[in-house]
Amino acid sequence: MGALILSVDAITFLEEQGFPVLKSCLAKNEDEAADKAGEIGFPVTLKLSSPDVIHKTEASGIRVSLKDETAVREAFREIVGSFASDTSRRLDGVMVQEQGGGIEVIVGMLSDPQFGPVLMFGLGGIFVEAMKDVSFRLVPLGPSDAKDMLEELKGCEVLKNPRNGSVDLAAIESFLFRISTFLADRPEIREMDLNPVFVSSHGIRICDARIKIQ
């Protein structure tokens, strides 16, 4: 079966391993949410944190671009209120997170019974949901694998020539290589989804993660 690491725990785990993440913390009540948002700096995002909910968007558990304390308090009440009627699911609290920006990408890993760990990379949103535009490589990556994974994507031009600003492509390649090395050194990690990861001219930051350890 293994254990799942989700929400703030997953972000904290990855930060402790040296990966770039958005500032995140867990709030148990409305006052804590307002205080944490002030410490992080506005705007912030609020997210439902429950071990029984994997897809927060489908559970109406995300509020973004909250610009002040009033908006944070209202969003907290909405998220908790929408969850309160369902007693079959556990609620850990609400994640207060620095607002991310840039283009969304996804990085994942699964363990193939024949070949071992396999790394997946793709653009987020409709590119992965509808177009299945992703590339795969066995772990650990070779010297040119990270660049090849990026260039194999049908939507690669979105990263090379974004509508606004630019994207640090070297940071993506470095990130994929670091994730590969990390996974090769941690065979107890059986699955990992980093989704979304924001990339921009300022580098790369992990926004959300799910990690399965066995």
pLDDT tens-place string over residues 153-200: 988 888 888 877 889 999 999 999 999 999 999 999 999 999 999 999
Q: Residue 204 — pLDDT band, cuts 50, 70, 90?
A: very high
Residue 58 has pLDDT above 80, yes or no: no
pTM of the model: 0.92
Residue 140 has pLDDT above 70, yes or no: yes
Residue 125 has pLDDT above 80, yes or no: no
pLDDT value, residue 45 = 97
**Which residues fall within 8 angstroms of residue 43, CB to CB, at 6 or more apart?**
64, 65, 66, 67, 99
Helix (H, G, I), strand (E, B) or coil at 147: helix
Residue 62 has pLDDT above 90, yes or no: yes
Other C-beta atoms closer than 10 Å to the C-beta of 74 total 14
pLDDT value, residue 1 = 63
The answer to whether 207 and 44 are in contact (CB under 8 A) is no
Q: Residue 83 — pLDDT band, cuts 50, 70, 90?
A: confident
Residue whose token pair is 């690669």 = 156
Average pLDDT (25-52) is 95
* One-letter amino acid of 100: G
Distance between CA 179 and CA 175 in Å, rounded?
6
Pick 43 or 163 by higher pLDDT. 43
pLDDT value, residue 54 = 73
Average pLDDT (142-155) is 93
pLDDT value, residue 175 = 97
- Cα-Cα-Cα-Cα torsion 182, 183, 187, 189, nearest 10 degrees, comes to 110
Distance between CA 37 and CA 123 in Å, rounded?
29
Residue 128 has pLDDT above 80, yes or no: no
Distance between CA 93 and CA 9 in Å, rounded?
12
Other C-beta atoms closer than 10 Å to the C-beta of 109 total 21
What are the E-state strand segments in the chain?
Answer: 3-6, 24-27, 44-49, 62-66, 93-98, 103-112, 116-123, 134-138, 189-200, 203-206, 209-213
pLDDT value, residue 90 = 87
Residue 87 has pLDDT above 80, yes or no: no
pLDDT value, residue 126 = 63
Residue 120 has pLDDT above 80, yes or no: yes
Distance between CA 97 and CA 63 in Å, rounded?
10
pLDDT value, residue 127 = 63
